[in-house]
């Protein structure tokens, strides 16, 4: 497929470590600027799909060397669920995408070993939906010495330009893991030295979700209701927020399970106190991220599920040194930002443009990436 330089419609797909389902969103872009936003939707995993993927997530590091038949079941669940999400999103819609950006489902991430694993066969998806699919976005970055994550920063740079930002700002994504992108919009391009700094800050919603599940509740603290009733155990914040990871100079990334021992340390707390403490832990880790930034951001724009938690947003407003707002304040869709990012990165990949740079993942030099599979492959 030859590269196209006029804006094209690309459909991005994202399923994060929270495993709540698939975000799908259309974006009109030339891979450099954002022209328009199209249809989008959230599609929940079916119970059997989530169960198969949860098994894969629990066994990702084991299956690296000793996969069993459950891997094929999980792979098929990812492909079929994403194909169904695409069909549902496009049903009856006039605009069809020229390209699909397919992230897949992360089941293991070990940047120290230069290894990451997103299950989901992009070639199989291309055949199932009869569309060209760009996938496996992270491998090339890791071969170049990068952490393989986060990959949304180049899109965040385009969004900073799109909203007309003139001062440094931070995009904060609070999904299962939280990550931040510091942006200097005065730079001409995302790969330019000093344009971007991006890294994972620590846990996002994953620990809170797991805590709620352990207590027989739905796997999230909806509207921060439990945290609002609880008291923060400050001693546990200190014990868990001083990890070596937080002190490390970015770029840096982590696996969803990096802070697994944290839940064990919360064991004696009540449900509300644990929710409040884990929420405060997420916020404390984000606050410590400010120490690594080249200059204070003039504002923080929050996306991901965390922005819907009023307790978390209030805590952030109290700990960060600039105004904190959901991205909707600048006309963006905070639920779809990562799906839009992979739509954007798919077009960049098609054009052979860089997807990451030393300031975003720690790779040796700016690098492109992604595999391109057409239906005929």
Determine the pLDDT at residue 18.
Answer: 67
Show the tokens assigned to 148: 């393989």
- Dump pLDDT digits (tens) for 212-247: 999 999 989 999 999 999 999 999 887 776 677 888
* pLDDT (mean) for 288-311: 96
pLDDT computed for residue 231 by the predictor = 97
Q: 253 vs 88, which has greater pLDDT?
A: 88
Average pLDDT over residues 172-200: 95
pLDDT of residue 2: 44
pLDDT at 157: 98
pLDDT > 90? residue 175? no
Characterize 103-129 residue by residue with b for buried, 16 or more Cβ atoms within 10 angstroms of its Cβ, and e for exposed: bbbbbbbbbeeeebbbbbbbbbbbbbb
Segment 200-208 shows an average pLDDT of 92
DSSP for 100-159, written as a single string: EEEEEEEEEEEGGGTEEEEE--HHHHHHHHTS-EEE--SHHHHHTT------THHHHHHH
Convert the pLDDT of each residue in 6-33 to its tens digit. 999 999 999 976 677 899 999 999 999 9
Nearest to 327 by CA among 294, 305, 358: 305
Sketch out the chain's domains with CATH numbers.
8-146+343-351+367-373 (3.30.420.40), 164-330 (3.30.420.40)
- Over range 93-101, report the average pLDDT: 90
According to the model, what pLDDT value does residue 1 have? 43
Mean pLDDT of all residues in the chain?
Answer: 93
DSSP state of 356: B
Q: Is the pLDDT of residue 373 over 90?
A: yes
Q: What is the mean pLDDT of residues 70-93?
A: 94
Task: Give the Cα separation of 188 and 190 in Å (integer).
Answer: 7
pLDDT at residue 196, as a whole number: 97
């Amino acid at each position: 497929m030859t590269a196209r330089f006029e804006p094209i419609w690309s459909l991005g797909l994202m399923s994060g470590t929270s495993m709540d389902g698939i975000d799908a969103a259309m974006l009109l872009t030339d891979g450099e600027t954002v022209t328009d936003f199209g249809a989008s939707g959230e599609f929940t995993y079916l119970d059997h799909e989530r169960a198969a993927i949860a098994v894969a997530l629990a066994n990702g590091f084991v299956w690296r060397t000793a996969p069993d038949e459950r891997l094929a079941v999980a792979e098929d669940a990812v492909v079929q669920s994403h194909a169904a999400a695409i069909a549902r999103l496009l049903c009856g819609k006039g605009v069809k995408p020229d390209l699909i950006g397919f992230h897949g489902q992360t089941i293991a991430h070990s940047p120290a070993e230069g290894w990451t694993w997103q299950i989901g066969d992009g070639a199989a998806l291309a055949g199932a939906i009869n569309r060209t699919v760009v996938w496996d976005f992270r491998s090339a970055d890791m071969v170049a010495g990068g952490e393989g994550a986060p990959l949304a920063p180049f899109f965040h740079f385009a969004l900073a330009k799109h909203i007309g930002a003139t001062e440094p700002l931070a995009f904060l994504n609070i999904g299962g893991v939280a990550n931040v992108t510091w942006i200097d919009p005065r730079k001409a391009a995302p790969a330019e030295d000093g344009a971007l700094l991006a890294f994972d800050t620590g846990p996002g919603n994953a620990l809170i979700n797991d805590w709620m599940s352990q207590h027989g509740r739905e796997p999230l603290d909806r509207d921060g209701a439990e945290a609002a009733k609880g008291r923060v155990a400050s001693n546990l914040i200190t014990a868990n927020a001083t990890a070596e990871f937080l002190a490390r100079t970015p770029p840096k990334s982590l696996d969803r399970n990096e802070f697994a021992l944290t839940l064990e340390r919360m064991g004696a707390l009540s449900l509300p106190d644990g929710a409040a403490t884990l929420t405060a832990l997420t916020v404390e880790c984000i606050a410590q991220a400010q120490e690594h930034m080249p200059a204070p951001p003039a504002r923080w724009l929050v996306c991901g599920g965390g922005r819907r938690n009023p307790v978390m947003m209030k805590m952030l407003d109290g700990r960060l040194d600039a105004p904190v707002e959901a991205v909707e304040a600048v006309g963006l869709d905070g639920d779809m930002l990562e799906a839009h990012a992979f739509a954007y990165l798919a077009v960049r990949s098609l054009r052979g443009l860089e997807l990451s740079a030393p300031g975003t993942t720690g790779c040796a030099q700016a690098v492109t990436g992604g595999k391109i599979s057409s239906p005929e492959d």
